[in-house]
């Protein structure tokens, strides 16, 4: 009985841990100072928003200026127009005026470190309630600026734009004259680095020690983790398991069958699943 209880407790605890790890970030901008929402108004410094969320969440926002504007949608409307009142965000023209048809860009980095690109696997944003019914698009790009996906909604009744796929480094929101954005939600951002497949210990060479590191990790927990899990995914199936060690051994010693790129040189790997590459010293 006691044994069964502790198993249940373990299952419960592991569910809790899983939940904590995958907790989404929700930014509603309501803790910030919000200014007028009027199109054409000049943006004052205190309503600018750019890298405030870099340290904790790895998100940086900009428009034609290196920031977006935080607008208070409570004033002047009979009912609050922000999905979470009072604030939403909007675009800023190059001459520093509020303009909702100027695109808003959200870019991800390793939290606290703008020199290392980051990626998320899910992002959504909600439009305000005063839409004009015209189409608004969100386009996602990978770390190299390659277009991943575009979604479109008609801006009426505070619709939500969402994209769910691995490798999202940035999104561009392209709205109409009255499109402001709220409740920006995304999965935790992880660092993205160049790597070479098979160079598991990232010493610049693919050799016997690399499959040995995979086997040690899988069967003995030594090392505890692999700095660049993508480099260990030799067959590029999105998981690190014994088939990767075998594929690597075959590449080195028997069939010589090449592994999927990036193999010949350091590079990013687009859309190869949820594995990450946090550290890869041989691929700066
Ligand atoms: Ca809000
Ligand atoms: Ca190596
Ligand atoms: Ca694999």
Kindly give the distance from the C-alpha atom of residue 29 to the centroid of ligand 1, in angstroms, as a whole number: 5
Kindly give the distance from the C-alpha atom of residue 203 to the centroid of ligand 3, in angstroms, as a whole number: 20
Domain-ending residue, one of 141, 160, 188: 188
Ligand nearest to the CA of 196: 2
- The span from the CA of 124 to the CA of 145, in Å, is 19
Kindly give the distance from the C-alpha atom of residue 242 to the centroid of ligand 3, in angstroms, as a whole number: 8
pTM: 0.79
3 state SS of 88:
strand
Q: What is the mean pLDDT of residues 129-136?
A: 90
- The predicted structure's pLDDT at residue 10: 38
- Note down the domain range covering 206: 193-284
Q: What is the mean pLDDT of residues 259-263?
A: 94
Kindly state the tokens that stand for 175: 């709205």
CB atoms within 5 A of ion ligand 3 belong to 233, 235, 237, 239, 244
Q: 51 and 174 share a domain?
A: yes
- The predicted structure's pLDDT at residue 278: 81
Kindly give the distance from the C-alpha atom of residue 215 to the centroid of ligand 2, in angstroms, as a whole number: 14
**How far from the centroid of its chain's Cα atoms is residue 68's Cα?**
19
Kindly give the distance from the C-alpha atom of residue 215 to the centroid of ligand 1, in angstroms, as a whole number: 48
- Which band of pLDDT confidence, cut at 50, 70 and 90, is reported for residue 22? low
Kindly state the tokens that stand for 114: 């703008």
Q: What is the mean pLDDT of residues 49-55?
A: 98
Kindly give the distance from the C-alpha atom of residue 109 to the centroid of ligand 1, in angstroms, as a whole number: 23
Residue 218 lies in a domain: yes
Q: 157 and 249 share a domain?
A: no
Structure letter (DSSP) for residue 159: -
Ligand nearest to the CA of 237: 3
Percent share of the chain, pLDDT over 90: 76
**Residue 65 neighbours by CB under 8 Å, 6+ apart:** 43, 48, 92, 93, 94, 96
Residue 9 lies in a domain: no
Kindly give the distance from the C-alpha atom of residue 281 to the centroid of ligand 3, in angstroms, as a whole number: 21
Q: 79 and 98 share a domain?
A: yes
- Residue-wise pLDDT for 190-239, tens only, equals 888 899 999 999 999 999 999 999 999 999 999 998 989 999 999 999 89
Q: 182 and 197 share a domain?
A: no
Domain count, the chain: 2
- The span from the CA of 90 to the CA of 62, in Å, is 10
Residue 3 lies in a domain: no
Q: 91 and 179 share a domain?
A: yes
Kindly give the distance from the C-alpha atom of residue 30 to the centroid of ligand 1, in angstroms, as a whole number: 5
- Residue 38's domain is classified under what CATH number? 2.60.120
Q: Phi/psi zone of residue 238: left (φ > 0), alpha (ψ -120 to 50 degrees), beta?
A: left
- The predicted structure's pLDDT at residue 277: 85
- The predicted structure's pLDDT at residue 5: 42
Domain-ending residue, one of 134, 166, 188: 188
- pLDDT-wise least confident of 26-30, 185-189, 269-273: 269-273
Does the pLDDT value for residue 75 go beyond 60?
Answer: yes
- The span from the CA of 181 to the CA of 91, in Å, is 9
Residue 4 lies in a domain: no
Q: What is the mean pLDDT of the chain?
A: 90
- Look-up of token digits 């069964």: 4
């Amino acid at each position: 009985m006691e044994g069964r209880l502790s198993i249940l407790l373990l299952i419960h605890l592991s569910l809790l841990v899983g939940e904590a790890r995958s907790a989404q970030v929700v930014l509603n901008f309501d803790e910030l100072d919000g200014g007028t929402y009027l199109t054409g108004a000049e943006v004052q410094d205190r309503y600018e928003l750019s890298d405030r969320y870099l340290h904790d969440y790895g998100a940086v926002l900009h428009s034609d200026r290196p920031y977006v504007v935080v607008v208070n949608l409570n004033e002047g409307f009979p009912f609050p127009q922000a999905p979470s009142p009072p604030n939403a965000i909007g675009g800023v023209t190059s001459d520093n005026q509020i303009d909702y048809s100027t695109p808003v860009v959200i870019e991800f980095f390793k939290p606290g470190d703008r020199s290392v690109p980051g990626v998320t696997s899910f992002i959504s944003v909600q439009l305000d309630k005063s839409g004009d019914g015209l189409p608004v698009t969100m386009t996602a790009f990978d770390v190299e600026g390659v277009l991943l996906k575009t979604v479109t909604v008609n801006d009426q009744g505070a619709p939500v734009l969402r994209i769910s796929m691995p490798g999202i480094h940035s999104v561009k929101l392209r709205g109409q004259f009255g499109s402001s954005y709220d409740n920006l939600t995304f999965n935790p951002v992880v660092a993205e680095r160049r790597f070479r497949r098979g160079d598991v210990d990232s010493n610049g060479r693919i050799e016997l020690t690399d499959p040995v590191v995979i086997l040690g990790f899988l069967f003995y927990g030594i090392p505890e983790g692999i700095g660049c899990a993508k480099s260990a995914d030799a067959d590029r199936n999105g998981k690190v398991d014994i088939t990767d060690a075998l594929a690597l051994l075959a590449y080195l010693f028997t069939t010589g069958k090449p592994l999927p790129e990036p193999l010949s040189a350091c590079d990013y790997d687009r859309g190869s699943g949820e594995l990450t590459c946090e550290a890869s010293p041989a691929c700066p």
